[in-house]
Amino acid sequence: MAMQLDDRLFHLFEKPAAGVAVETLCLGLGYTALATSDGGTGIAYTYLDAKTSCGVVKNYRDFEGQSALELLAYLHSADPLERTMALALVNALNHRAALALPEDPKNESLFDALGIGASTRVAMVGLFGPLMRIFKERGAVVEVVDLHRRLGQPAEFLPKLRAWAEVLILTATSILNATTEEILAAVGDGVKTVLLGPSTPLVAEAFAHLPVHFLAGTVPVDREAVFRAVRHGAGTRVIQKYGRKVFMPTRAL
């Protein structure tokens, strides 16, 4: 089902995409990286279902050297891997603006803004392992659901977003499997929410229709090193060495 978020991202970047070309596109095992002809670099999680053949792209197209607008249309695709490429493009088109956001290398500013402390009830969609240590140090109570890791039961988890959770940490890969708006529709009044992860499009306007209070992501800085890490199948911790972890508020708490 198409999401309003897809439409918003498309319309926000339709004009910028029409003015640049896709320079390089690399689908790594962990992340996808994309460079545009105007110097932008973007990344997104490579969303793959179980590999059943020698190829993972259903309908191969060579986008390199072509108008970025053609790839941007993949935001409306039902194929998560095609959406991966389009989201990496969005992040490349937004690269310059994202670089200007405040840096938050250890997520401390974000956690302070969310008010995470002793006994804070945190619901997490998509396990962010490094954050668990911070939750423990701050004394928060955490419930996690992660379908890829087979953690938690969605049928039991979603009701907690309305009646139990005080904070929701939502992985940006939810954009890739088109569940962002479904999850946020289950959130109760007063729940503080953040969309988090290297795939996050750091564009407040795109989320104006949703109860998202913060966006937190990774902005590539060293393009060559990021592409090398992606080609080598590296994960989040390696890629973040060559970028800046940033966050931005999208609405008042």
Amino acid at position 143, single letter: E
Domain-located, residue 187: yes
Cα atoms in the 13 Å half-sphere on the side-chain side of 209:
11
Domain-located, residue 213: yes
Based on the fold, state whether residues 89 and 112 are members of the same structural domain.
Answer: no
DSSP assignment of 51-120 equals: --SS---SS----BTSBHHHHHGGGG-S-HHHHHHHHHHHHHHTHHHHHTSPB-TTSHHHHHHHT--TT-
- Whether 110 contacts 155, CB under 8 Å: no
Domain-located, residue 225: no
Based on the fold, state whether residues 201 and 133 are members of the same structural domain.
Answer: yes
Query: Which pLDDT score, from 0 to 100, does residue 21 have?
Result: 98
Query: Which pLDDT score, from 0 to 100, does residue 2 have?
Result: 43
User: Nearest 5 degrees, angle CA 19-CA 24-CA 25?
Assistant: 105
- Whether 60 contacts 237, CB under 8 Å: no
User: Which token pair is 89?
Assistant: 């493009």
Query: Which pLDDT score, from 0 to 100, does residue 164 have?
Result: 97
Domain end call among 59, 82, 99: 99
Domain-located, residue 173: yes
Based on the fold, state whether residues 184 and 150 are members of the same structural domain.
Answer: yes
Based on the fold, state whether residues 78 and 121 are members of the same structural domain.
Answer: no
Domain that holds residue 122: 108-218+244-249
Domain-located, residue 238: no
* CATH code where residue 132 lies: 3.40.50.11590
Task: Kindly give the parts of the chain with pLDDT less than 50.
Answer: 1-2
**98-108 pLDDT tens trace:** 999 999 999 99
Based on the fold, state whether residues 117 and 61 are members of the same structural domain.
Answer: no
Domain-located, residue 29: yes
Domain end call among 69, 99, 129: 99
How many domains is the chain built from? 2
Based on the fold, state whether residues 117 and 208 are members of the same structural domain.
Answer: yes
Based on the fold, state whether residues 19 and 85 are members of the same structural domain.
Answer: yes
Give the neighbor-by-neighbor strand order of the sheet with 214-220.
141-145, 121-125, 167-171, 192-196, 214-220, 243-249
Based on the fold, state whether residues 95 and 191 are members of the same structural domain.
Answer: no
Kindly tell me the burial class for residue 78, based on how many C-beta atoms sit within 10 Å of its own C-beta (0-12, 13-18, 19 or more): exposed
Share of the chain above pLDDT 70, in %: 99
Query: Which pLDDT score, from 0 to 100, does residue 95 have?
Result: 98
Query: Which pLDDT score, from 0 to 100, does residue 230 have?
Result: 98
Query: Which pLDDT score, from 0 to 100, does residue 252 have?
Result: 84
Query: Which pLDDT score, from 0 to 100, does residue 1 have?
Result: 39
Q: What is the mean pLDDT of the chain?
A: 95
Based on the fold, state whether residues 87 and 31 are members of the same structural domain.
Answer: yes
Kindly tell me the burial class for residue 141, based on how many C-beta atoms sit within 10 Å of its own C-beta (0-12, 13-18, 19 or more): middle
Amino acid at position 59, single letter: N
Domain-located, residue 228: no
Residue 133 backbone phi and psi in degrees, to 5: -65, -40
Based on the fold, state whether residues 191 and 112 are members of the same structural domain.
Answer: yes
Which residue is listed with tokens 């392992």?
A: 129
Domain end call among 54, 72, 99: 99
